[in-house]
A and B are shown apart, each in its own frame.
Chain A
Amino acid sequence: MTDRPTPDPLLTPNRPSVSNCCDGFSRSQAIRSVLAAGRAPVDREWDPRMPTPAGVRIDRRRLLLGAAGGLLSVYGAGRLGLTDRVLGDGIAQAAANQSSTSPILVSVFLQGGVDSLALLGPAGDPTYVKLRPTLAVPATSGLSLREDPSLYWHPSASSFSQLHNAGQVTLIPGIGYTDPDMSHFTSRHYWEVGVTDAELETGWLGRYLDVVGSPTNPFQGLSMDGQMNPTLATAKNPVAAIDQPDNFSMYINGVWGGAFEWAMDSASSLGDAQRHSHDPAIAQVAQAASEVGIVRRTLKPFVNANGGPAYTSPVTYPTSVASDFPQRLAGLAAMIAAGVPLRCVALTTDSQFDTHSAQVGTFDPGIKLAADSLAAFQADLEARGIADRVLVHVWSEFGRRAQENGSNGTDHGAAGTGLLIGSRVAGGMLGEFPSLGNLDVNGNQVENVDYRGVYCSLLEQWFDQDAAAVIPGARSFPRYQILGTGAVTTSTTATTTTPTLPLGLKRS
C-alpha cells in the first residue's frame, strides 16, 4: 500500500502564511500597487478572502516578451520585416473581400452567474428589500431606468446606465430558458452552444462560421481570452485565440533572422500537413501549429520594436492590475480598424461573478470594470468611425437566487440580465423585469426572453443569416427587434496610430 508521504522540509512553515483580514483592504491596495509596478509580491500579505488578482502574472510576461522583442529587433532588424513573407492566403483573401461595413459580433461572457438583482433592482419595492436585506440596489438619483423608473442601476454600473440613456444599450432584464439548469457548467454550455443539449460540441458562433466562414482564415472567429472560447468552437473551419494583438509575439533563444522565420515556418508546415490527421490528438496539435503561422504573420504589425503595442487608442481605457480585459478590448478596436478580417469575437471577463459570499467585494469592482471597459470600447469605435460595424452581446450563464443567503452572497438562480451594446442596437428594453412576486419553485426569477430567440434574431438581423442553419429548432423561438430603425450617426475619426497591414490587406 502507499506509504504516507514524508513531510517535505521545504514546507515547514517558518512564518505566518497569510495575515490580517481586518485591514485587508488597505493591504490589498498595497499589494496591488506592488503589482502595478510590475513586480511580483514577495508574500501573501493580504486578506485571504480577497481573490488573487487574476492578472498577476501578466505583467511579468509582458516584460519578458518586451525584452525578447527588443532582442529580435536588434538582431533581426530588416530581415524580420514582412516584405518577403507571404501571408496566409485565407487572411489576405478574407481581408481583401471584406467590405468596410462587414458586421462583427463580439460576445462578452461575464463568468460565474451575474446577480441581475444587484445589477438592476426595484429599489423601493418592499419585497425586494426583504429579499435583499444587505444586497439591494439603492435608489441613486440619475440611475433610474427611463422605461421603468422604479428600476435602478447599481452605482458601479453607471457606464451601462449612460450608454442605455444614449440608446446604445438594449437591456434584457429577464433572459434565460425554460427548465433552467443551475449548474455553472451545464448552463454555461447551453449558452455557448445555443441549445439546451449537454452533448453538442460546437459553439453557436462556431456553427455560424462553419456555414459562412473560410477554411483558411482563423481570424473569422477570434477568442481574446488567451485560449479557445467554446462559443466559437467550429466543426471544420479554423478559429484563433490570442489575448492581445501585441502579446502574440514569439522568439527562440539563440535563434534570429532568417533562421528564426524558417524555424517557425517549419513548425507551421508540420502543422499544415497533419491538421486533418485521423488521430484527434495529432490533429489538435497540428491545427494549433498551423494556425499559429497565420496568426503571427498577421499580428506582427501590431507589435512595435520594443515588443509593446504598435497602436494607440483614441480614448482612455480603464486600467486594472487584476485584469487586462480593457486592454484586450483596446487591441480589438485597433484590429478592427486595421481591417483584420474578423466576424465573431469572444471575450471572457477576468472578474468572477459566482458570488456565494461577501458579494460586494467581487461584484462591485467586477461590474464596474466590465461596464467602464465596454463604454470605452464603444467610444473608441465611434472615434475611429467604425462603430456601425460592431455589436456587443453581454451574457452570463444564469442570474442568482432572489433571496440572498446568509453569507452576504447569493446562490445560483435562473433568469438573468443580458445586454446588447452598439451604435445600431434598438435601445430600450427587451421583455420585462421579471416580477419578484412570481418566482419559480426554487425562488428564482422566471425568464421572459429566450436566449435562443436572441441568438436567432442576431443571426438574422445582424448577420443576415438564416438562423435555421445554425440554431437547432430555430423556428420555435420568438424573434426580437435587435436593431434600431433610426438614422445612424457616425462621429469623426480621431488621430490614432493604426498598423498598416502588409501585402495589400485593406484597411477599412
Chain B
Amino acid sequence: MAQLSRSPIAVFPGRFTEADACRLLWRGGFGPQPGQATELAALGLDGAVASLTRPAGPARLIGAPPHNDKGQALDPINVWGDDHCWWLDRMVRSNQQLIERMTLIWHSWFATSEQASNAALMIRQNWMMRSHVLGSFHQLLLDVTKDPAMLLWLDGSSNNKYSPNENYGREMLELFTLGADRGYDQDDVHQNARALTGWTNEWSQESGPTDFHFDPTLHDDGVKTIFGQRGRFTWVDSCRLAVHHSSHPSFFVNKLWGYFVGEPISASDARALERTYVEAGFEIRPIVEAILRHPAFYEGARLVIPPVVFCAGMLRASRQTIVTTDWSWVAQETGQVLFQPPNVSGWNYADWLDTARWAGRLIAVNTALEDRTINTNSVHYPSGETPSQAVANALHYWGEPTLSARTRANLEEFSRRVQRGITATWEVLPYREIRQNALRALIPMTPDWQTA
C-alpha cells in the first residue's frame, strides 16, 4: 500500500469502524456496495484513505456496461442525456471512487455548462479534469483556462485585444482562485481580462466550434498591472499570478474542506493546510489526504448527500448498473444534472433539499426500483412475513444500511399499519408485496440515508 503524505493537522485517533468506513465511502465516493464498508474498515484509517487517494493502475469499470431503455449502448456525445448517464455509470462502476468524486468537485468548482458548447467538449473537459484530480491545482487552472468548453462558456475565445471580454477574467478570480472581493478590484479584473486575450476558435459546418488555439495577433501584448505587479502578462502569467496571490491558499483550503466536512475548518488547521499546500507546490493530494483523516471528517456533523451521489449510491447499494436513460431527466428533478451546473458558481452544497427536490428524489428512488418492483400478482412472495421481517427484508435489499432507532421504529409502525389497514378483500393477497415495495422506497428517503 502506498504511503500517505504526512498530515499537518490532527488525525482521527479513534478505532476506524465500519460506520467510519461508510462515511468515507459516501463522502470520498458514491456510497458502499454491500459488504464494502466491512472490507474497508479492515484496512484501518491510513490504509482505507490510501486505497482512495492512491489507487493502483488505471480505473476499472466493474459490472455490466450501461445501456438505454432499448438495450443499446449509450452514445454520450450524440444523444440527449446520455452524457449524464455516461458519467453516472462511472460513478456507479469505477473502482477508483475518489477519482470520480474529485472530478465531480472540479466540475462544480470550475462549473462549466454544456449550454454554451456541446457534449463532446464537455466530456473532453471531464477527461482533462479527471487527469488532474489530485495533482497540481496550478496545472489544473492552466488547463481549465484553455479548455474549449470553458473558453466558450465564459467567452474566453471571444476575448481579444480589439474587444476585451471580462467574463472569464472576473470569474477566475472571484470563483476559481481568490473569492469575491478578496484582494482585487475592478481594475485588476479588467487588466486580467487583457492578459487573457488571444484564445480563439473557428466554426465549421461539420463540427461547430473547432480549432481552439492561441493567436498572438489577437493578444494584447501591452503592459498590464495586476495585483500591483506590472508586466506584459499573458494567460500563463494570469494563472501564475492568481495562484500566487496571498488570498489563494486560504480560498483553496476553505473551499475544498467544505466539500468534505460539515463544519468550518479551525483557523489553526486552515493555516497549517495552507502552508502545506504552498510548500507542496499547489499539490491537491496532500490536502485531500489530510482532510480525509481529520477527526471532524468522522466526528463532525452529517452532510446531505448530493443528488447524483444519492442516485449512484442507490445503484451501488442494490448492485445495479444503468439500464435506463431516465436518469438524465430524473437528475433535473433532483436538482443536479451533470454537465449543466445551475450557473458558473456550481452547485450549492449547503442547499440540496426543499419540497420540490425531495419529490424529485422520490422519483429517483422509483427509477432505482423500476425493475425490482415486486409484482403484486406474485405467488412466490413469502406469505408469513411479519411487519418486523418486512422491514428487515427491505433493509437487506439495500445492503443493510444503519438506521437510527427512531427511523427503524417509524418503518415498523408503517409496516404494522398496512397490516391493520386491510379492509377490502382484494387487498388481502397483495398487501405484503405492496408493503415491501413501499418499504424499499421509504428507506432511501429517510433522513438517515440522505445524510449517510
Contacts and interface: CB of A to CB of B under 8 A. Distances in A.
Interface of A: 1-8, 10-11, 13, 15-22, 40-44, 47-49, 51-52, 56-58, 60-61, 64, 181-186, 198, 218, 223, 226-228, 240-243, 248, 250-260, 262-263, 266-267, 269-271, 273-274, 277, 279-282, 284-289, 291-292, 295-296, 356-357, 405-407, 409, 411-412, 442
A185 B179 CA distance: 11
B206 A282 contact: no
Contact of A442 (B163, B186, B357): B186
Given A282-B302, A406-B162, 19 more contacts: A10-B76, A17-B118, A18-B209, A20-B205, A40-B80, A40-B81, A43-B78, A52-B115, A181-B180, A182-B170, A184-B343, A184-B345, A250-B359, A254-B373, A263-B442, A266-B410, A280-B262, A291-B354, A411-B166
A15 B119 CA distance: 13
B164 A405 contact: yes
B451 A282 contact: yes
A259 B434 contact: yes
A223 B358 contact: no
* 8 tightest Cβ-Cβ pairs between the two chains A and B: A406-B163, A18-B208, A17-B120, A254-B437, A57-B329, A288-B358, A266-B414, A254-B373
Contacts of B59: 3, 5-6
Contact of A5 (B120, B130, B355): B130
A114 to B, nearest CB: 16
A93 B201 CA distance: 61
A242 B355 contact: yes
22 contacts: A2-B131, A2-B135, A10-B75, A42-B78, A44-B119, A52-B114, A52-B340, A57-B332, A61-B329, A64-B326, A182-B189, A184-B345, A185-B343, A185-B345, A241-B354, A241-B357, A254-B433, A258-B421, A262-B438, A273-B406, A280-B301, A406-B163
A356 B410 CA distance: 53
A273 B355 CA distance: 17
Contacts of A270: 406-407, 410, 446-447
A251 B360 CA distance: 11
Nearest to B189: A182
A288 B421 contact: no
A11 B77 contact: yes
B110 interface: no
A285 B451 contact: yes
Interface string B390-418: 00000000000000001100110110011
A329 to B, nearest CB: 17
A407 B151 CA distance: 14
A60 B329 contact: yes
Interface in B141-175: 152, 155, 158, 160, 162-167, 170, 174-175
Contact of B58 (A6, A18, A19, A250): A6
Interface string B16-40: 0000000000000000000000000
Contacts, number: 284
Interface string B338-355: 001001110000011111
A357 B165 contact: yes
A255 B445 CA distance: 15
B373 A227 contact: no
A13 B186 CA distance: 42
Contact of A254 (B116, B340, B344, B376): B376
Nearest to B345: A185
B123 interface: yes
Interface of B: 55, 57-59, 73-81, 86, 99, 114-121, 123, 127, 130-131, 133-135, 152, 155, 158, 160, 162-167, 170, 174-175, 180-181, 186, 189, 203, 205-209, 262, 301-304, 326, 328-329, 332-333, 335, 337, 340, 343-345, 351-359, 362, 365-366, 369-370, 373-376, 406-407, 410-411, 413-414, 417-418, 421, 423, 427, 431, 433-435, 437-438, 441-442, 445-447, 450-451
A17 B207 contact: yes
B355 A252 contact: no
Given A19-B208, A274-B447, A5 B410 contact: no
A269 B358 CA distance: 14
Contacts of B329: 57, 60-61
Contact of B418 (A185, A223, A262): A262
A270 B412 CA distance: 12
Contacts of A273: 406, 410
Given A253-B373, A259-B421, A266-B410, A248 B433 contact: no
Given A182-B186, A279-B302, A412 B406 contact: no
B438 A407 contact: no
Given A60-B329, A218-B355, A257 B303 contact: no
Nearest to B431: A259
Contacts of B133: 2
A241 B356 contact: yes
Interface centre among A4, A40, A288 (most CB of B within 10 A): A288
B123 A183 contact: no
A266 B442 contact: yes
Given A183-B174, A259-B418, A252 B441 contact: yes
Contact of B427 (A40, A56, A257, A411): A257
Given A17-B208, A405-B163, A255 B438 contact: yes
Interface centre among B86, B135, B186, B340 (most CB of A within 10 A): B186
Contact of A285 (B127, B189, B447): B447
Contacts of A277: 447
A357 B434 contact: no
Contact of A267 (B75, B167, B445): B445
A97 B66 CA distance: 54
A269 B442 CA distance: 12
Contact of A17 (B57, B78, B205, B407): B78
B58 A228 contact: no
Contacts of A406: 158, 160, 162-165
A281 B446 CA distance: 12
Contacts of A405: 163-165
B376 to A, nearest CB: 6
Contacts of A47: 208
A502 to B, nearest CB: 19
Given A227-B354, A273-B406, A42 B80 contact: yes
A284 B354 CA distance: 8
Nearest to A58: B332
Contact of A255 (B58, B345, B411, B437): B437
B262 to A, nearest CB: 6
A49 B207 CA distance: 12
B180 A356 contact: no
Contacts of A291: 354-355
B421 A289 contact: no
A223 to B, nearest CB: 7
A243 B360 CA distance: 11
Interface centre among B208, B354, B418 (most CB of A within 10 A): B354
A483 to B, nearest CB: 32
Contacts of A228: 351, 354
A240 B354 CA distance: 7
Nearest to A7: B127
A177 to B, nearest CB: 15
Contacts of A57: 81, 328-329, 332, 337
A492 to B, nearest CB: 35
B329 to A, nearest CB: 4
A163 B197 CA distance: 44
Contacts of A263: 414, 438, 441-442
A255 B79 CA distance: 33
Contacts of B164: 405-406
B312 to A, nearest CB: 17
Contact of A56 (B80, B206, B209, B358): B80
A298 to B, nearest CB: 11
Nearest to B371: A253
Given A266-B410, A280-B301, A284-B352, A3 B118 contact: no
A255 to B, nearest CB: 4
